[in-house]
Copies of this chain bind each other. A is one copy, B any other.
Amino acid sequence: MAKRVRDILSMFVLAIFSKVIGTKLYSRRSAPAEPESEANVCLSWRLAVEANNMPGWSTVPLHCLSHVETYMMGGQYEQDVNYIVEQIESYVSQVVLKGDGCDGCDAWILDIDDTCISNLFYYKDKNYGCDPFDPGDFVAWVMKGECPAIPAILGLFTKLVEGGFKVFLLTGRDQQTLAPATIANLHNQGFIGYHRVIFRNQSFKGKSAVAFKSEVRKQLVEEGYRIWGNVGDQWTDLQGECLGNRTFKIPNPMYCVP
C-alpha cells in the first residue's frame, strides 16, 4: 500500500510539474499551438509596455490584474530591478570622472516615483493599476510621506553620491503642494546627499513629461553638467533632449505617465 501511495504521489507530482513548468519545452513547429492562456497574453502585454510598444497606455487590463499582482509582489519585479541596477553599477564602475577643473560637473538623474521610492502599496489598493488614476487619492497618499525606498536604487544612489557624482532627483510631482512631503519621504528613506530635487513648478504646468524633463536636463547641461546616466520607470523619463550618456528603464506595469 505504501508503494501504491508513493506511485500515485509520483504520478501527481510529475503531472503537475510538467503542466506548470515544462509543457511546451519540446514543442516544435509541427505541434499545434496551445490556446492562449491569460498568463501568456499578460506576459505579452507587459513586454509590449516595457519595450515601449504601447506609449500612452491607460490602465492595466482587468484580465491581467492577478498577473501584475504576482509580478509585483511575488519577487520577479524586485529581481528585475536588481538586475538592472547591476547593469547600471557595472557601467558606473567604468566611468572615469573628469579631473578637468570642473568641480562636480559629473551628474546623474534619477526619477523619484517608482524609481527611488515605491508607490506599490498605493497601487495595491487600486487593483495594481486596473483602476483609473485618481489624482485626489494619489495626492493624499503622497502627503503621508510613506513611500518605501526601492532597496537596489537606494544602494545605487548611495554609491553615486559616495563616488562623487552630483545626483539630481527629477520628478513630475508638483512643487507647490508636494515638495515638503516628498523631501521628508526621501529623507526618511535614506535618500540623503543628493545635489538637488527638481519638481514641476508653475512654469511647467500643462507641459508634457517629456517637454518638462527635457527642458530641465537642457538647463543642467547649459549649467555645465555632464549627465552620465538617467534612470526612470517611465519611457517619458528617457525621451526627448539631453538624455544623458546612458538611460535605464526600471519596470513599471502599473501605470503610464504619457
Residues of A within 8 A of B (CB): 1, 5, 8-9, 12-13, 16-17, 20-29, 33-34, 36, 40-41, 43-45, 47-48, 50-54, 66, 69-70, 73-76, 78-80, 82-84, 87, 148, 247-249, 251
Contacts and interface: CB of A to CB of B under 8 A. Distances in A.
Given A75-B40, A248-B53, A80 B47 contact: yes
A59 to B, nearest CB: 16
Given A12-B13, A44-B79, A48-B80, 4 more contacts: A16-B20, A22-B70, A25-B74, A29-B148
Contact of A25 (B33, B70, B84): B70
A46 to B, nearest CB: 9
Contacts of A148: 29
A34 B75 CA distance: 8
28 contacts: A5-B8, A12-B13, A16-B17, A16-B20, A17-B20, A20-B21, A22-B70, A23-B74, A24-B70, A24-B75, A25-B73, A26-B73, A29-B148, A34-B75, A40-B79, A41-B83, A43-B76, A43-B79, A43-B80, A44-B76, A44-B83, A47-B251, A50-B50, A50-B51, A51-B249, A51-B251, A52-B249, A53-B87
Contacts of A51: 50-52, 249, 251
Contacts of A22: 70, 74
B41 A79 contact: yes
Nearest to A57: B87
B84 A53 contact: yes
A30 B131 CA distance: 26
A48 B16 contact: no
A248 B48 CA distance: 9
A54 to B, nearest CB: 6
A9 B10 CA distance: 10
Nearest to A36: B79
A47 B77 CA distance: 11
Nearest to A235: B51
A175 B79 CA distance: 43
Contacts of A45: 83
A105 to B, nearest CB: 24
A84 B20 contact: no
Contacts of A36: 79
Contacts of A29: 148
Contacts of A43: 76, 79-80
